[in-house]
Amino acid sequence: MKIRLQKFLSEAGVASRRAAELLILQERVAVNGEPVRQLGVKVDPARDRVTVDGQPARPRPKLYVALHKPRGCICTRRDEAGRPTVFEFLPDAWRNLYPVGRLDFNTEGLLLLTNDGEFALRVTHPRYGVRKRYQATVNGRVTRELLERLERGIRHQGESLKAERVRLLHQGPSRAVVELELAEGRKREVRRLFESQGFTVRRLVRTHIGPVALGALQPGRWRQLTPAEIKSLLSQP
């Protein structure tokens, strides 16, 4: 299957798509020995030979990784405040990966990373309907009325927040564990849902992204997704 030349260069790690367009317009890119002088050219990654300044550009293998993000780290490559990042748990050779969505500093659980832009779009864009499941430990007593309110949806800071499905897993004397399934996953949506109802979230763990489960993966550990998991996520309607 042919793709645009600038997309090929981006996926090969040569430059971003916009920077790749500049390389093409500067006539620094050749396909099968012929210099490219305009945008719009498409190449077959499996058959065409692409060079930049005479050096071969080859597509990098696609990687799909599930990481158990621990609490107390962020989902970026570096942090000006010196906080730990999720990339400290990955091999150095995987520095070209990027997180598929985010988990905030104090949230733990399943985080996907990839170098496949189409895969990332399929998982994160609301139109594909990939649901995320969380377990929230909250202070207080959770009632059926509260669960029903979270499923109906609430307004908070000008946004509509809603859980597609809510289930009480455990109710103790002073704390409860609630499972929530979200369709969109707005910023801090689970925490905001509970805060809007006067509850404090003590612990928040993402356990599922579509068919991919956190399972027994320990904090700071990772695994590569199975072909079946990748196919399932890419085939979302």
Closest by CA to 70, choosing from 86, 94, 83, 82, is 86
Predicted pLDDT of residue 59: 81
Same structural domain, 95 and 203: no
On whether both 226 and 110 belong to a single domain, the answer is: yes
Looking at the structure, do residues 32 and 96 belong to the same domain, yes or no? no
Same domain, 39 and 103: no
**What is residue 11's predicted lDDT score, i.e. its pLDDT?**
80
| 82: CATH | 3.30.70.580
- Domain containing residue 17: CATH number: 3.10.290.10
Low pLDDT (below 70) residues in the chain: 236-237
Structure confidence at residue 215 (pLDDT):
96
Tokens of 59: 């597509």
| pLDDT for position 237 | 61
User: Do 138 and 178 fall within a single domain?
Assistant: yes
Looking at the fold, whether 152 and 102 belong to one and the same domain comes out as no
Residue 84 is predicted with a pLDDT of: 93
pTM of the model: 0.83
DSSP bridge pairs for 237: none
Domain membership of residue 139 as a residue range: 131-209
Quick one: 205 and 217 in the same domain? no
Closest C-alpha among 209, 179, 184 to residue 67: 209
On whether both 216 and 122 belong to a single domain, the answer is: yes
How many domains, in total, are found in the chain? 3
Catalytic residue annotation: 104
Residues in contact with 153: Cβ distance below 8 Å, sequence separation at least 6, in sequence order: 160, 161, 162
Taking CB atoms within 8 Å and a gap of at least 24, the contacts of 91-96 are 94/63, 94/65, 96/13, 96/60
Q: Are residues 145 and 194 in the same domain?
A: yes
Residues 111 and 9 in one domain: no
Measured from the Cβ of residue 98, the count of other Cβ atoms closer than 10 Å reads 15
